[in-house]
Amino acid sequence: MNPPFPVVRPLPALRRFQSPAIEEAINRFKTDTPDLELGWLFENCFPNTLDTTVFFQTLDGKPDTYVITGDIDAMWLRDSCAQVWPYLPFMAQDSALKQLVAGLIHRQTRCVLLDPYANAFYGDLEQVGYWKSDLTDMKAGVHERKWEIDSLCYPIRLAYGYWRATGDTTPFDANWREGIRATLATFREQQRKEGHGPYKFARVTGQATDTLPMNGAGYPVKPNGLICSSFRPSDDATVFSFLIPSNFFAVVSLKQAATLWELVSDDKGTPCELREMAGEIERALQEHATVEHPKYGRVYAYEINGFGSYLLMDDANVPGLLSLPYLGAVELDDATYQNTRRLLLSDDNPFFFRGEVAEGIGGPHVGMDMIWPMALVMRALTSSDESEIREAVQMLKRSHAGTGFMHEAFHKNDAGRFTREWFAWTNTLFSELLWHLHESNPTLLSAL
């Protein structure tokens, strides 16, 4: 008879990186958590990025870390940051783990300098890409060149989190500062105050969400201070290019970049530029990002175009509207956010699905009736209601279909119908929730 919780984690000799601090955390969690299944899931999911996706080396005298997303041998700027984010509190106990994260900051800087419009890169920056035939300015080393605001926000978030956890500013060298200047320039170009800018993208595909209309420029917008994002964090094309959650994220990131810059440079002009742009976007969000809903009151739109058109929905990926407090973009008790949250977690969100296994947010990327565990995690992390948090964790437990890991998405009525067996971002994000509950609300965790 097979054990109820078989060993599915790679054996020690097969793990790509081993951290004593992470192993200690796993043991603590399992000891403190009566629910054996949750302990098993945490043991599998928390170290999944370290076990399977990291490639560490020293390059030009600096640590260098390439982090694949899982079943695709490429590094997304967004995913790689999120994959290591839950490890930041443990760097003080593990100098090798700290070097691993510092190496990722260096690697991401190299990627941004190669092409700030790209979302995913190869370990070998001379490699010709899988999507080399895309109709855009493809470069060697780039896996995919979908312009997404959050691709430039996440590396700043990671750098800021690294500094807050360690006090170390070593990774913020001249190259890093050049990367911040490239980020600022790209954001300015994509405000599209003078034409649509240099970026175009088209792909020969049967999937409408994988390409842009209007000769690769996307549908027109009326400039208002917001930044255009051609694609969403799901890598799906936007309908209206002013993607509201990503603009909120940009405000946070620009302010964080200014703070870090001031730590390592006497240049006063760049931090002022960063903060000025953050303020401009913030004012534009206050003026343009909300609409009056007949049922929920004032809510945040998901996308707008500046001409008065807007889209009310949410996508499961982060940043989304649901995740705004998690990213520090709005306060949890913000009235407009709470109105929006009620809309998103209802049948008035076209991508909210209810089924026999769970209820939650999905998105166009994998189609109808598919719930993303990532959105269930965000629901718990943005809630102060213990019953809601408890139910979200229970739904996540039901979603793994006996594999011991989280997935990209699963069918609302059948957890065995899932996408991406190896998707490290969701594994570490789920573990982040469990560790957060372990540290902040062990009573709730023990009652599951």
CATH topology of domain 66-347: Glycosyltransferase (1.50.10)
Residue 165 to residues 74, 108, 171, 259, 374, Cα–Cα distance (Å): 27, 19, 14, 15, 24
Reduced to 3 states, what is the DSSP secondary structure of residue 12?
A: helix
Tally of CB atoms within 10 A around 58: 10
Tell me, what's the pLDDT at 2? 63
- Listed by start position, the domains of the chain span 28-59+351-448, 66-347
Phi-psi region of 156 (alpha: psi -120 to 50; beta: other; left: phi over 0): alpha
What is the distance between the alpha carbons of residues 68 and 319, in angstroms, rounded to a whole number?
20
Q: How far apart are CA 29 and CA 39, in angstroms?
A: 7
Beta strands in 214-280 (DSSP E): 242-243
Environment class of 76 (CB within 10 Å of its CB; exposed 0-12, middle 13-18, buried 19+): buried
Torsion of Cα atoms, 334 then 340 then 342 then 347, to 10°: -170
Q: What is the pTM of this model?
A: 0.98
Question: Cα(176)–Cα(414) distance, rounded to whole angstroms?
Answer: 45
Calpha distance 394→376 (Å, rounded): 10
Residues sharing a CB contact under 8 Å with residue 387, sequence separation 6 or more, in sequence order: none
> Which pLDDT score is estimated for 24?
98
Distance of CA 23 to CAs 27, 35, 154, 171, 224, Å? 6, 19, 26, 26, 49
Residue environment code for 218-255, b if the CB has 16+ CB neighbours within 10 A, otherwise e: beebeebbbbbbbbbbbbbbbbbbbbbbbbbbbbbbbb
Under 8 Å between Cβ of 242 and 192? no
Between CA 75 and CA 106 the distance in angstroms is: 13
Q: What is the pLDDT of residue 275?
A: 98
Q: Using CA atoms, how far apart are residues 336 and 383, in angstroms rounded to an integer? A: 15
Contact 305, 294 (CB under 8 A): no
> Tell me, what's the pLDDT at 446?
85
- Tokens in use for 110? 């190299």
Contact 427, 404 (CB under 8 A): no
User: Is the preceding peptide bond at 319 cis, omega within 30 degrees of 0?
Assistant: yes
Query: Could you tell me how many residues make up the chain?
Result: 448
Short-list 396, 391, 383, CA closest to 440: 383
As a whole number of angstroms, the longest Cα–Cα distance in the chain is 68
The answer to whether 122 touches 141, Cβ cutoff 8 Å, is yes
Which mean pLDDT values do the consecutive 10-residue runs of the chain (448 residues) have? 84 97 98 96 98 97 98 98 98 98 98 98 95 97 98 98 98 98 98 95 97 97 98 98 98 98 97 98 98 98 98 98 98 98 98 98 97 98 97 98 98 98 97 98 89
Helix (H, G, I), strand (E, B) or coil at 194: coil
Which amino acid is residue 367, in one-letter code?
G
Q: Which amino acid is at 266?
A: D
Cβ within 8 Å of residue 141, ≥6 positions away: 111, 114, 115, 121, 122, 124, 125, 126, 127, 129
The partner residues of 297 in beta bridges, in order of sequence, read 293
Backbone dihedral angles phi then psi of residue 214, each to the nearest 5 degrees: 55, 55
CA distance 221 to 307: 7
